[in-house]
Amino acid sequence: MLRMDAPFGGWGASIMKKIIIAIDGYSSCGKSTMAKDLAKTIGYVYVDTGAMYRAVTYYAMQNGLFPEEGIKEAELKADIDAGKINISFKFNAETGRPDTYLNGVKVETEIRQMAVSTRVSPIAALPFVRALLTQQQQLMGKEKGIVMDGRDIGTAVFPDAELKIFVTASAEIRAQRRYDELKAKGEANLDFDAILKNVQERDYIDTHRETAPLRQAEDALVLDNSHMTIAEQKEWLISEYTRRVNS
Ligand code: DC
């Protein structure tokens, strides 16, 4: 059983070598929750790169660049080139998590809305959007001491990351987790089969896009958490982290 009596970062954040931890994997497999928790435990910075793709999507929606007919790519690219989209994170002491800001305005709640979730995949497939965000993510990791989660962190953003984890779980189990999560939020009329279909569709889009598709890096460790508890998962992560910083 893992015990965490001392604040992990305080055990020698200054003397322990700092590394980059890249966590990639399918949607709804608990990546963000585990990455956030790991970062907090070891005193690292946590970056949710999905939030950055969501923020660009929200920008496009707010600025009339994502009408029914599809994305106005040229206009979006022009805004990106003109430096009109600035994404940042600020730690929220109340929630213990970083909030996402778009051009100085907190958009943490807005970017989690269904309207954004259903539009983010095509935005995340645009090469010029990926180029911008990849560059910003690489800057964030310059000093190391970072846990970053997404789809292409170990393959495109930090191919040299010291610890790469590829998280997976069966589509049925992920759909069941989503179902339970939505039910707990009070959503009525939930249809398990529709949720499962959505999970499978997102898997397909994430793994089949041309630029930086979701795939397991050759040197990534696979974490199939289909039948793992949160505590077992954490113990596994901490032991892999400890092995890396001591090697
Ligand atoms: O993890 P999430 O569901 O918040 O991610 C939102 C979308 O962004 C999802 O369609 C996958 C995409 N994404 C990506 O393409 N690359 C990343 N590094 C992170 C997310």
| pLDDT score for 113 | 85
- What region, left, alpha or beta, does residue 39 occupy, with left being phi > 0 and alpha being psi -120 to 50 degrees? alpha
Question: Which of 49, 89, 97, 201 best tests ligand 1's pocket when mutated (most atoms within 8 Å of CB)?
Answer: 49
- Lookup: tokens for 247: 């090697």
Write down the number of H helices and E strands in the chain. Answer: 9, 8
Question: Which of 46, 97, 120 best tests ligand 1's pocket when mutated (most atoms within 8 Å of CB)?
Answer: 120
Distance CA 187, CA 189 (A): 7
- CATH code of the domain containing 115: 3.40.50.300
In short, whether 206's Cβ falls inside 6 Å of ligand 1 is: yes
Q: Is the pLDDT of residue 108 over 80?
A: yes
Which one-letter DSSP state was computed for residue 156?
Answer: I
pTM score, two decimals? Answer: 0.89
The count of structural domains within the chain is 1
List b or e across 11-34, with b for residues whose CB sees 16 or more CB atoms inside 10 angstroms. eeeeebeebbbbbbbbbbbbbbeb
In short, whether 117's Cβ falls inside 6 Å of ligand 1 is: no
Q: pLDDT tens-digit profile of 48-92?
A: 999 999 999 999 999 999 999 999 999 999 999 999 999 999 999
- Lookup: tokens for 5: 């009596």
User: Domain range spanning residue 57?
Assistant: 2-245
Between these two residues, 11 and 114, which has the higher pLDDT value? Answer: 114
| pLDDT score for 2 | 37
- In the chain, what is the greatest distance between 2 CA atoms, to the nearest angstrom? 55
Distance CA 217, CA 220 (A): 5
Q: pLDDT tens-digit profile of 167-216?
A: 999 999 999 998 998 889 887 888 999 999 988 988 998 899 898 999 99
